[in-house]
Each structure stands twice: as structure tokens, then as C-alpha cells.
């Protein structure tokens, strides 16, 4: 009996050690491939978005591969056309901007020094860390070398891009096996909810992408027109930045507005002032009027939730995490509503309860 107890303890301890070792190895492996998982998640999100027009063409009687081919030809055709028309001009303006960075530094530094002359004590405090703004800035060579340490090699980047596009193409071309695998994860009684959650996710992601394209295009046109009118260097570069700024909610405004405003300050303080006013008005127009109208039928996510997830994903995974924040919020919302709140009866007094809390 005593030997039997020892044998059971040995087996339990051995099983615990093996399970712990397996869990540690699994976590270590997931940590090593986290960038791959994020890339795969982004590819699947993009695949769900592209699947929407492909499925509509398929529903009209077109074969799946023909519909997918047409959609991808349109996407790559538009992308290639825009690249051929716009990228050379953006590249030229970017070269000019980079070449003029020392001049911009000196101009802004001279303006700040001239303003600080009226405040000797403030100027003395400002000068403790360095003699000027320019001296506080890192050299261009160090900046380029620093960026280079975090960048992919050319061949590595091409390989990752090819794999990414291949995942999207194969998923859109034949999504059934992946969807069957997804549904098989859930027990049969939960598969209806899983189906509805994924459908809801697809609708929200498609609406998110449509709103980004429309809102980004409007922002880009307005930014390009205004900065060209104000003779701010690199108007096309800042317009391209404005086009993609909506991918990062709330924070995208600062990414869009701060660089051109600083460049405008090197032109004149008045130009910088009007640029700042323009970007503030543009943000109010887009964030409070345009984007809610575009997203009202598909996404209804509170800005606090978006900002929290944006900070969390950005802190954990950097720029890639920030870009995935909004799609991930849509996914969480769809599954939370379907699997959790969907099991409760509708509370007819919810609005009154919220009002009572706010007035307490």
C-alpha cells in the first residue's frame, strides 16, 4: 500500500513537471513567433475585408476564383497606378525635406531664441541642457543608423511581403477550410454564436476599411490643397501621411499635424499658426462629423475603449499593435456581444439606470 502511494506521488510529480515544462516551452515559442502571429492576424483581417466584395460577386453567379481574380486585379491595379503617379513625387519631396532638415532646425531654433530673449530666466533654464535646439537634436547620421538597426533587410522585407500577400490570396481564394477549422474549435451548441460573431466581425471590419479609405482620401485632398496654398514644403508627403492617419484612432491626428506644423514654423510663425488652426478644424470636422457618419452603421465602439486598447497594443507590440488596435476592438466587441451579453434578456430600463448613475 505504501509503495502504491509512492508510485502515485511519483506519477503526479512527473506529470506536473512535464506539463509545466510543456507550458514553459509553449510560452517561449509563442513569444518568439509573436511577430508572425500578428502578421497572420493582420493578413486574416485583410482577407475578411477583401472577402466581402468577392462574396458579393460570387452570390451573383460568378465563380469564386474569377471573382477573387477580378477584385485582386482591381486592388493591385489601383495601388500600382497610384504608386506610379504619386510615389516618385513623394520621394522627391521627401528627399528635399530630409536635405533641408538642418535648415529647418536652424530656422525654428532662431525663432525660439528670439522669443526667449524676452524671458531671460526661461532662456537660462532652456540653455542648461544645451546651447540651442539644434544642438539638442540628434545628428542625421545617428538617426539613420538608429533606424537601420530596427529595419528589415531588403530581402527579408520582400520575403515577408510575399508570404503576407500569399496568406491573403489563399484565404480569399478558398476560405472554406479555414472557416471550417474555426467553427470546429467550438462545440456544436456554440457554433451558431461563433458564426454570427464572425459575420458581425466581418461587417465591422469592412465598414472600418471603407470609412478609412473615404475619410483618409478627404483628409489627404484637404491637407494637400491647404499646405500648397500656404507654400509649406512637402505638401504631398504630409497629404500621404494624412491619408493613413485614420488607421491609428485619435493618435493619428498628432502624427498628421505635428510634422507639417513644425516645417511651417520654419517658413514663418504666421504660417505655422494657420496650419495649426487648419489641422484643429480638420480634426473636428473628420473626428466629430465625418467618421461617425461613415462608421455609424458598422462600428459603434466608444473612443475610451479604442484608446485603452490602442495604448495597450502600442505598448506591447509597437506600431504594429497600434495598427491592429481598431480591428481587434471590433473583434472583441463582436464576440463579447454574441457570447456574453447575448445570453441575457434585453434590459428595457438600461437608459434610465445609466441616467440615475450619472445624476447620483
pLDDT digits (tens, 9 = 90+) for 310-357: 888 888 888 788 888 888 888 888 898 888 887 777 777 888 888 888
pLDDT digits (tens, 9 = 90+) for 72-121: 999 999 888 887 877 777 777 777 777 777 777 677 666 666 766 666 65
| pLDDT reading at 135 higher than 60 | no
Does this model's pTM top 0.85? My answer is: no
165-169 mean pLDDT:
91
Residue percentage of the chain with pLDDT more than 90 = 20
Inter-helix orientation angle 191-229/251-267, to 10°: 10
**pLDDT for res 93:** 77
List the one residue out of 348, 346, 310 whose CA is nearest residue 327.
Answer: 310
- 299 φψ region: left (φ > 0), alpha (ψ -120 to 50), beta (else): beta
230-259 mean pLDDT:
83
Please list, in sequence order, all residues whose beta carbon lies within 8 angstroms of the beta carbon of residue 240, skipping any fewer than 6 positions away: 86, 90, 220
**pLDDT for res 275:** 92
Task: Compute CA 300 distance to the chain's CA centroid, rounded to the nearest angstrom.
Answer: 18
Rounded Cα distance between 113 and 107, Å, is 10
139-157 mean pLDDT:
50
Rounded Cα distance between 260 and 220, Å, is 13
Rounded Cα distance between 133 and 199, Å, is 53
Question: What is the chain's mean pLDDT, rounded?
Answer: 80
Lowest mean pLDDT among 74-83, 135-144, 181-190, 341-350: 135-144
Please list, in sequence order, all residues whose beta carbon lies within 8 angstroms of the beta carbon of residue 138, skipping any fewer than 6 positions away: 146
Lowest mean pLDDT among 161-175, 192-206, 216-230, 344-358: 344-358
Quote the cell numbers at residue 88: 516618385
| pLDDT reading at 229 higher than 80 | yes
**pLDDT for res 99:** 74
| Higher pLDDT pick, 86 / 124 | 86
List the one residue out of 222, 219, 281 whose CA is nearest residue 247.
Answer: 219
- pLDDT-based confidence at residue 149 (cuts at 50, 70, 90): very low
Q: Is 298 exposed, middle or buried (0-12, 13-18, 19+ CB in 10 A)?
A: middle
Contact call for residues 330 and 246 (beta carbons, < 8 A):
no
Rounded Cα distance between 293 and 284, Å, is 13
List the one residue out of 241, 357, 314, 300 whose CA is nearest residue 38.
Answer: 314
Quote the cell numbers at residue 208: 472600418
Alpha helices of the chain — where are they, by DSSP H?
Answer: 2-32, 34-59, 64-99, 101-116, 120-127, 133-136, 140-150, 154-173, 176-184, 191-229, 235-245, 251-267, 269-285, 291-295, 303-339, 350-359
Quote the cell numbers at residue 249: 484612432
Length of the chain: 360
Rounded Cα distance between 281 and 13, Å, is 66
| Higher pLDDT pick, 252 / 112 | 252
| Residue boundaries of the structural domains of the chain | 34-138+153-343
| Higher pLDDT pick, 317 / 69 | 69
Rounded Cα distance between 212 and 206, Å, is 10
Rounded Cα distance between 352 and 360, Å, is 12
| pLDDT reading at 145 higher than 50 | no
pLDDT digits (tens, 9 = 90+) for 11-58: 777 788 888 888 888 888 877 888 888 888 889 999 999 999 999 999
| Higher pLDDT pick, 306 / 298 | 306
**pLDDT for res 3:** 59
Contact call for residues 330 and 208 (beta carbons, < 8 A):
yes
Q: Which residue has the cell 474569377?
A: 66
Rounded Cα distance between 254 and 39, Å, is 26
Q: What are phi and psi for residue 16, nearest 5 degrees?
A: -65, -45
Rounded Cα distance between 338 and 343, Å, is 8
**pLDDT for res 350:** 80
Q: Which residue has the cell 517561449?
A: 28
Amino acid at each position: 500500500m505504501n509503495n502504491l502511494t509512492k508510485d502515485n506521488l511519483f506519477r503526479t510529480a512527473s506529470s506536473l513537471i512535464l506539463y509545466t515544462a510543456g507550458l514553459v516551452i509553449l510560452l517561449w515559442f509563442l513569444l518568439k513567433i509573436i511577430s508572425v502571429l500578428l502578421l497572420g492576424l493582420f493578413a486574416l483581417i485583410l482577407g475578411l475585408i477583401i472577402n466581402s466584395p468577392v462574396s458579393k460577386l460570387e452570390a451573383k453567379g460568378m465563380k469564386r476564383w474569377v471573382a477573387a481574380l477580378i477584385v485582386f486585379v482591381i486592388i493591385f491595379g489601383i495601388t500600382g497606378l497610384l504608386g506610379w503617379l504619386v510615389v516618385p513625387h513623394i520621394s522627391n519631396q521627401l528627399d528635399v525635406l530630409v536635405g533641408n532638415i538642418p535648415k529647418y532646425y536652424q530656422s525654428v531654433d532662431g525663432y525660439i531664441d528670439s522669443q526667449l530673449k524676452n524671458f531671460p530666466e526661461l532662456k537660462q533654464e532652456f540653455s542648461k541642457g544645451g546651447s540651442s535646439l539644434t544642438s539638442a537634436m540628434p545628428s542625421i547620421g545617428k538617426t539613420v543608423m538608429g533606424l537601420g538597426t530596427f529595419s528589415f533587410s531588403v530581402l527579408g522585407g520582400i520575403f515577408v511581403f510575399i508570404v503576407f500577400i500569399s496568406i491573403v490570396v489563399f484565404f480569399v481564394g478558398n476560405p472554406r477550410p479555414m472557416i471550417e477549422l474555426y467553427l470546429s474549435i467550438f462545440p456544436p451548441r456554440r457554433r451558431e454564436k461563433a458564426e454570427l460573431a464572425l459575420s458581425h466581425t466581418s461587417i465591422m471590419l469592412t465598414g472600418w476599411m471603407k470609412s478609412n479609405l473615404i475619410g483618409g482620401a478627404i483628409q489627404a485632398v484637404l491637407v494637400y490643397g491647404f499646405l500648397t496654398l500656404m507654400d509649406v514644403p512637402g505638401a504631398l508627403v504630409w497629404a500621404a501621411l494624412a491619408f493613413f492617419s485614420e488607421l491609428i484612432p485619435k493618435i493619428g491626428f498628432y502624427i498628421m499635424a505635428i510634422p507639417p506644423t513644425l516645417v511651417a514654423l520654419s517658413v514663418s510663425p504666421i504660417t505655422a499658426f494657420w496650419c495649426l488652426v487648419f489641422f484643429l478644424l480638420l480634426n473636428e470636422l473628420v473626428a466629430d462629423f465625418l467618421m461617425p457618419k461613415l462608421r455609424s452603421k458598422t462600428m459603434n465602439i466608444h473612443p475610451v475603449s479604442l484608446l485603452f486598447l490602442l495604448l495597450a497594443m502600442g505598448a506591447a507590440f509597437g506600431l504594429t499593435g497600434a495598427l491592429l488596435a481598431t480591428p481587434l476592438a471590433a473583434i472583441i466587441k463582436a464576440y463579447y456581444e454574441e457570447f456574453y451579453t447575448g445570453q441575457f434578456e434585453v434590459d428595457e430600463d438600461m437608459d434610465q439606470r445609466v441616467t440615475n448613475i450619472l445624476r447620483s
